[in-house]
Chain A
Amino acid sequence: MAFIEIDHIRKIYRKATVTVPAVNDISFVIEKGEFLAIVGKSGSGKSTLLNLLGGLDTPTSGEIRFEGENLFAEGKDGLVRHRRHRVGMVFQSFQLIPGQTAAENIELALAFGGVSRTERHTRALELLAQVGLAERANHYPTELSGGEAQRVAIARALANDPDILLADEPTGNLDTQNGDIVLSILQDLHRQGRTIIMITHDPDMAQVAQRTIRMQDGQLLEAL
């Protein structure tokens, strides 16, 4: 039994009269501790696949099994548990909550994850230290550089110690220098044993991954 099994997954968007198959009958497996890169042009369906893996979206048909257990079997409650404890997500545009400081953004994820009030702040500071931003704890997202914001977002994704990190073009909005920092953090996390699934359109970025899969028109083009 593979760690993650993507089994004939299909997601079709219906817009007015046309139906757009964003993900069209994809099957593959991901092993535990793997660093997987998914590449493809925009509109190839890679983000939709990542959202399905993250439990943010539900498929039209097919299953995604984590350690043999179908993610979509238990409805909304199952998806909430999955997002809280099993996966952490990082986005191209950081997605920090604007009115909250770096520490508070992380504390909110900890609160959702069931960490007690007293522990939250300490844990948030530890996580920030892990991404080298301990001194930025009380800064608001607008006061952070892009690279810093993305590192806070990674720290938040790690808040509830998930096994899997899902990153949707994490370096897409960053310059090379900051992109490299983010990438090396992901590599560190991989070395610590986490499963990393990263979307990128940059072949160079894909180089750091152990395996790259290419998507086109909602289908798997080739396994490299």
Chain B
Amino acid sequence: MTVRSFLNLEHPDNMTTLDLIRMALRNLWRTRLRSSLTILGVMIGIGALISMVAFGSGMEKNISDAFTSSGLFSRITITPVKLDMNRPMESLTDTSGISVPLDDELLEKIRLIPGVEEAYGEIQQPAKVAWKENETTLTYTGVSPEVGKTKAYQNLLAGTFLTSDTLGQAVISTDLLRRLKIRIDSEDMERAKKKDTANIYTYLKAEDLIGDTLLLSTATFHPMQMMGALTGNQEANPLSERVSPLVIVGVREGESDGPADRSNTDLLIPEGFATTIPSIGFNSITEFLRKGSGKPDKYATIQVTVANPNNLTPVRQELEKMGLKVFALAEQMKEIRRAFLAVNAVLGVVGFIALIVAGLGIINTLLMSILERTREIGIMKAIGGSEGQIKSVFFGEAAVIGLVGAIGGIILGWLVTLAAGAIINMKIKEMGEVPVDLFYFPWWLIIGSIGFAIGLSLIAGLYPAARAARIDPVEALRWS
């Protein structure tokens, strides 16, 4: 069943769509003030709908683009299997589920999985880091200089990535600098300095830090000394500290958003160098327990990248089969997308309500028009117009209102988002952040809103058109 037969529109070849549109335009022109107000209603409805949805789409796009460009979508992270501390004590030494240590042997195996682009391990240890008199604690990460080629580490502000595997080099993030009371925000330096009345911060350019030295303090644990301490030897200290100097080779953008957040990648040092630093020996009770039962983890995490995002799922499944605990952000993104769908739906509903109001406006306008043109409808019937043709005339008017309203609404919505985007980005710049495209108009939104507006207009035209078609010509011709 076609739409036309459903609407019972008689539409012979002689009365073409063009005729209908011409007639509709003419009738709308006759009552131009009322028509333009009705069209304005549709424009506002469509404008509200598309700017709302464009805002939601823009947020989603910004987040997903950020992830894509950072390479996080093509990355799988392998972490050691965590022990369930609620399980009975004896099962903690059950190593069946944690039998695969994260070491070079595993790395080689992973590199052989089809679809894997690169796999590299990260050594992570707690430490204290000092620059001049300022110090902070963190977890540093030891990585191969090779990983500097991956997307995730392309955000250098100054200097280079690690150039050697064995030298004491450091790539530090802006987040870490902030914790070390160093500011390199070049743009608002003057203003920041004025606010900083207590002179807490040191103000530098990122380039000035290259070649400077950081002091990394790590602790190491001596089991024998521990025994001594337990047996009452006052001299025995199971913990000793070692300080390693690190030359800053690069400064990179921090990965966290707020000042309180910190990331394990705030301090990157060469993997080879990291293995020479005596460490406390284990990160966790898991590692401690595993030391007694099997081979230790060399790496805290293993990062696996895939060349093609489509390979992500098969690679992940392969890794899971090997008994590894894996995490892939791309798969989390499905959840995020679902959340955005909900956000878009809510934003869409607000715009939809505006359109419903516009639809009522169309009904009102057409009913008024029918009242005024009752006699005309009678004449049309008397000279051979069928009910279907009379319906078509009013549907034509409704469709023109919808189409003009939709195109106008898209332009209106676009202008509004342009203005809103400019104002918001001005504020963002004042805060010293990078401006973003807040709104995004996917093609389906444009096509969809035109279709939706015309559809809504036709639905709004249903009742008035049926009413017009039912007018009794004898009564109508008597109308004055």
A residues bordering B, Cβ < 8 Å?
A: 51, 54, 56-57, 76-77, 80, 83-85, 89, 91, 95-100, 108-109, 111-117, 156-157, 159-160
Q: How does the 8 Å CB contact mask read for B271-298 relative to A, with 1 for contact and 0 for none?
A: 0000000000000000000000000000
Contact partner, A97, options B18, B376, B389, Cβ 8 Å:
B376
Contact partner, A114, options B14, B27, B30, B381, Cβ 8 Å:
B14
Residues of A within 8 A of B215 (CB): none
Of residues 441 through 480 on chain B, the ones whose CB sits less than 8 Å from some CB of chain A are 473-474, 477
A146 nearest CB across to chain B (Å): 16
Q: Are B14 and A51 in contact (CB under 8 A)?
A: no
Residues of B within 8 A of A80 (CB): 384-387
B8 nearest CB across to chain A (Å): 11
Q: Given the complex of chains A and B, what is the CA–CA distance between A159 and B379 in angstroms?
A: 14
Q: Are B384 and A112 in contact (CB under 8 A)?
A: yes
Q: Kindly report which residue of chain A lies nearest to residue B386, judged by CB atoms.
A: A80
B residues bordering A, Cβ < 8 Å?
A: 12-16, 18-19, 26-27, 30, 375-376, 378-387, 389, 473-474, 477
Q: Are A115 and B14 in contact (CB under 8 A)?
A: yes
Q: Are A111 and B14 in contact (CB under 8 A)?
A: yes
Q: Are B382 and A112 in contact (CB under 8 A)?
A: no
Q: A56-B474, A95-B375, A99-B26 are in contact. Are A83 and B382 (CB under 8 A)?
A: yes
Q: Kindly report which residue of chain A lies nearest to residue B382, judged by CB atoms.
A: A89
Q: A95-B375, A98-B376 are in contact. Are A112 and B385 (CB under 8 A)?
A: yes
Q: Given the complex of chains A and B, what is the CA–CA distance between A116 and B26 in angstroms?
A: 20
Q: Given the complex of chains A and B, what is the CA–CA distance between A76 and B390 in angstroms?
A: 14
Q: Are B383 and A112 in contact (CB under 8 A)?
A: yes
Q: A51-B474, A95-B477, A99-B30 are in contact. Are A114 and B12 (CB under 8 A)?
A: yes
B351 nearest CB across to chain A (Å): 35
Q: Are B14 and A116 in contact (CB under 8 A)?
A: yes
A212 nearest CB across to chain B (Å): 24
Q: Given the complex of chains A and B, what is the CA–CA distance between A85 and B14 in angstroms?
A: 15
Q: A51-B474, A113-B384, A159-B383 are in contact. List 11 more A-B contacts (CB 8 A).
A: A83-B382, A89-B383, A95-B375, A95-B477, A96-B379, A99-B30, A109-B383, A109-B384, A112-B15, A112-B384, A117-B19
Residues of B within 8 A of A51 (CB): 474
Residues of A within 8 A of B387 (CB): 76, 80
Residues of B within 8 A of A157 (CB): 383
Q: A111-B15, A114-B12 are in contact. Are A83 and B26 (CB under 8 A)?
A: no
Q: Are B27 and A99 in contact (CB under 8 A)?
A: yes
A192 nearest CB across to chain B (Å): 20
Contact partner, A160, options B27, B375, B384, Cβ 8 Å:
B384
Q: Given the complex of chains A and B, what is the CA–CA distance between A104 and B239 in angstroms?
A: 103
The 8 closest A-B pairs by CB, nearest first: A84-B384, A112-B384, A109-B383, A80-B386, A114-B14, A56-B473, A83-B384, A95-B379
Residues of B within 8 A of A117 (CB): 14, 16, 18-19
6 A-B pairs in the complex with CB atoms less than 8 angstroms apart: A80-B384, A83-B384, A96-B379, A97-B379, A112-B380, A112-B384
Residues of A within 8 A of B477 (CB): 56, 91, 95
Residues of A within 8 A of B376 (CB): 97-98
Q: Given the complex of chains A and B, what is the CA–CA distance between A109 and B381 in angstroms?
A: 10
Q: Given the complex of chains A and B, what is the CA–CA distance between A128 and B46 in angstroms?
A: 46
Residues of A within 8 A of B473 (CB): 56-57
Q: Are B382 and A54 in contact (CB under 8 A)?
A: yes
Q: Are A95 and B14 in contact (CB under 8 A)?
A: no
Q: Kindly report which residue of chain B lies nearest to residue A88, judged by CB atoms.
A: B383
Q: Are B474 and A83 in contact (CB under 8 A)?
A: no
Residues of B within 8 A of A98 (CB): 376
Q: Given the complex of chains A and B, what is the CA–CA distance between A84 and B381 in angstroms?
A: 9
Q: Are B381 and A56 in contact (CB under 8 A)?
A: yes
Q: Kindly report which residue of chain B lies nearest to residue A117, judged by CB atoms.
A: B16
Q: Kindly report which residue of chain B lies nearest to residue A112, judged by CB atoms.
A: B384
Q: A56-B473, A99-B30 are in contact. Are A111 and B382 (CB under 8 A)?
A: no
Q: Given the complex of chains A and B, what is the CA–CA distance between A32 and B384 in angstroms?
A: 22
Q: Given the complex of chains A and B, what is the CA–CA distance between A71 and B475 in angstroms?
A: 20
Q: A115-B14, A117-B14, A117-B16 are in contact. Are A108 and B380 (CB under 8 A)?
A: yes
Q: Kindly report which residue of chain A lies nearest to residue B480, judged by CB atoms.
A: A93
Q: Which of A111, A113, A160 has the most CB of B within 10 A?
A: A111
Q: Kindly report which residue of chain B lies nearest to residue A116, judged by CB atoms.
A: B14
A14 nearest CB across to chain B (Å): 14
Q: A57-B474, A116-B14 are in contact. Are A95 and B382 (CB under 8 A)?
A: yes
Q: Kindly report which residue of chain A lies nearest to residue B375, judged by CB atoms.
A: A95
B445 nearest CB across to chain A (Å): 36
Q: Given the complex of chains A and B, what is the CA–CA distance between A56 and B478 in angstroms?
A: 13
Residues of B within 8 A of A95 (CB): 375, 378-379, 382, 477
Q: Given the complex of chains A and B, what is the CA–CA distance between A76 and B26 in angstroms?
A: 28
Residues of A within 8 A of B382 (CB): 54, 56, 83, 89, 91, 95
A126 nearest CB across to chain B (Å): 17
B472 nearest CB across to chain A (Å): 8
Q: A76-B387, A83-B384, A116-B14 are in contact. Are A111 and B19 (CB under 8 A)?
A: yes
Q: Given the complex of chains A and B, what is the CA–CA distance between A85 and B26 in angstroms?
A: 27
Residues of A within 8 A of B383 (CB): 83, 89, 108-109, 112, 156-157, 159
Q: Which of B378, B386, B387 has the most CB of A within 10 A?
A: B386
Q: Given the complex of chains A and B, what is the CA–CA distance between A151 and B18 in angstroms?
A: 29
Q: Kindly report which residue of chain B lies nearest to residue A109, judged by CB atoms.
A: B383
Q: Given the complex of chains A and B, what is the CA–CA distance between A176 and B243 in angstroms?
A: 122
Q: Are A112 and B389 in contact (CB under 8 A)?
A: yes
Residues of A within 8 A of B378 (CB): 95
Residues of A within 8 A of B12 (CB): 114
Q: Which of A76, A96, A117 has the most CB of B within 10 A?
A: A117
Q: Given the complex of chains A and B, what is the CA–CA distance between A98 and B471 in angstroms?
A: 19
Residues of B within 8 A of A54 (CB): 382
Residues of B within 8 A of A112 (CB): 14-15, 380, 383-386, 389
Residues of B within 8 A of A96 (CB): 379
Q: Kindly report which residue of chain A lies nearest to residue B389, judged by CB atoms.
A: A112
Q: Which of B27, B379, B382, B477 has the most CB of A within 10 A?
A: B382
A199 nearest CB across to chain B (Å): 14
Q: Kindly report which residue of chain B lies nearest to residue A115, judged by CB atoms.
A: B14
Residues of A within 8 A of B13 (CB): 114, 116
Q: Given the complex of chains A and B, what is the CA–CA distance between A181 and B115 in angstroms?
A: 94
Q: Kindly report which residue of chain B lies nearest to residue A91, judged by CB atoms.
A: B477
Q: Are B379 and A83 in contact (CB under 8 A)?
A: no
